[in-house]
Amino acid sequence: METIHEKPASNCKEHVHFEAEQLKDHNLEIHVKQSDGQADVHLGFLQVNHHYVVCFCVSDSLGEEVVYDKRENLHVEIQKVTPTEDGKGHDLVLHFNAHREKLLTEMINIYSKDQQKRLKIVIHARVLGKGKGTPALKNGIKCYKVDTDEDSDAHSDWQGF
């Protein structure tokens, strides 16, 4: 008869473990890639129905003062834009709503004061569904609000058929 040894929960295959070699490639900074009047901002993994404050820097030639439309995007709202200390770009603070699962791509624009120049900012995030894990947030990202699940049976008055 063969003896079966149970493994402790710490060896459970449901946990993700990274080797030291893999961890050196993990970067907790928001990645901003810029080319031809566009900045692609990669936020990494976020959770569905969570609202985040996101802070990052872009390089641009828009001048010290910029303008933008706060209502341009339903899921991304610019809170503040200030010139960088070196004068070669702007620091942005925005609110980001991770409103659905999978890959989210949202766009906003900032303009020079005379609106002759524009920087298109494309926000990219991978949004995990409920129960799919809790991501480690990159530096410059903080959760400030979580929407309640209104589709839950516990919150529904509908009794069904």
Domain boundaries in the chain?
Answer: 47-147
pLDDT tens track, the chain, 161 positions: 444 444 344 443 444 444 555 444 557 899 999 998 999 999 999 999 999 999 999 999 999 999 999 889 999 999 999 999 999 999 999 999 999 999 999 999 999 999 999 999 999 999 999 888 888 899 999 999 999 865 444 445 666 66
Give the angle 13-18-135 at the CA atoms, nearest 5°: 85
Sorted by sequence, the CB contacts under 8 Å of residue 118 that are 6+ apart come out as 37, 62, 109, 110, 111, 112
